[in-house]
Chain A
Amino acid sequence: MTRFAEPMARLIEELKKLPGVGGKTAQRFAFHILRASDEDAELLAEAIREVKASLRLCSICNNITDVDPCTYCTSATRNQRLVCVVEEPTNIAAIEKTRHYNGVYHVLHGALSPLHGIGPEQLRITNLAKRVESACIDELIVATNPTIEGEATATYLSRLFKSSGVKVTRIATGVPVGSDIEYADEVTMQKAMEGRREL
Chain B
Amino acid sequence: MSLKQSEAIVLRTYPLREADLLVTLFTRAEGKVKGIARSAKNSKRRFGGALEPLTWVRAYYDDREGQDLARLDSCDILESPLSTTVDYPRVVALEHVAEMLDELLPDREANDAIFRLAVSVLHQLRAGSIWMPLTYFQLWLVRLVGFLPELGTCLACGVALSGSLAYYHALADGLMCVQHKRLASSKLAPESRALAEQMFRAPVESFAEEPWAPSQCADLRRFLVQIMERHIEKKLVTAGMLARL
Those of B168-195 within 8 Å (CB) of chain A: none
Q: Is the CB of B80 within 8 A of A186?
A: yes
Residues A187 and B237 in contact in the complex (CB < 8 Å), given A114-B96, A149-B91: no
Mask: chain B, 20-59; 1 = CB below 8 Å from A; 0 = not: 0000000000000000000000001100111011110000
In the complex, which of the residues B77, B86, B244 contacts A152, with contact meaning CB atoms closer than 8 Å? B86
State which size class the interface on A falls in.
20 to 34
Residue of B nearest to A187 (CB): B80
State which size class the interface on B falls in.
35 or more
Residues A151 and B82 in contact in the complex (CB < 8 Å), given A112-B88, A115-B12, A119-B244: yes
Judged by a CB distance under 8 angstroms, whether A185 is at the interface is: yes
In the bound assembly, the distance between CA atoms of A18 and B55 in angstroms comes to: 31
Q: Which B residues lie within 8 Å of A195 (CB)? A: none
Judged by a CB distance under 8 angstroms, whether A183 is at the interface is: yes
Those of A116-166 within 8 Å (CB) of chain B: 116-117, 119-120, 146-149, 151-153, 155-156, 159
Q: Which A residues lie within 8 Å of B85 (CB)? A: 155
In the bound assembly, the distance between CA atoms of A112 and B49 in angstroms comes to: 18
Q: Which B residues lie within 8 Å of A20 (CB)? A: 17-18
In the bound assembly, the distance between CA atoms of A113 and B86 in angstroms comes to: 13
Q: Which A residues lie within 8 Å of B45 (CB)? A: 176, 179, 183
Q: Is the CB of A112 within 8 A of B91?
A: yes
Q: Is the CB of B77 within 8 A of A185?
A: yes
Judged by a CB distance under 8 angstroms, whether A71 is at the interface is: no
In the bound assembly, the distance between CA atoms of A189 and B133 in angstroms comes to: 28
Mask: chain B, 103-144; 1 = CB below 8 Å from A; 0 = not: 000000000000000000000000100000000000000000
Mask: chain A, 166-185; 1 = CB below 8 Å from B; 0 = not: 00000000001001000111
Residue of B nearest to A116 (CB): B237
Distance from B51 Cβ to chain A, minimum over Cβ atoms (Å):
10
Q: Which A residues lie within 8 Å of B82 (CB)? A: 146-148, 151, 187, 191
Q: Which residues of B contact A (CB under 8 A)?
A: 12, 17-18, 44-45, 48-50, 52-55, 76-77, 80-83, 85-88, 90-92, 94-96, 98-99, 127, 237-238, 240-241, 244
Q: Which residues of A contact B (CB under 8 A)?
A: 19-20, 22, 112-117, 119-120, 146-149, 151-153, 155-156, 159, 176, 179, 183-188, 190-191
Closest 8 CB pairs of A and B: A185-B48, A152-B91, A151-B86, A187-B80, A114-B241, A155-B87, A114-B92, A20-B18
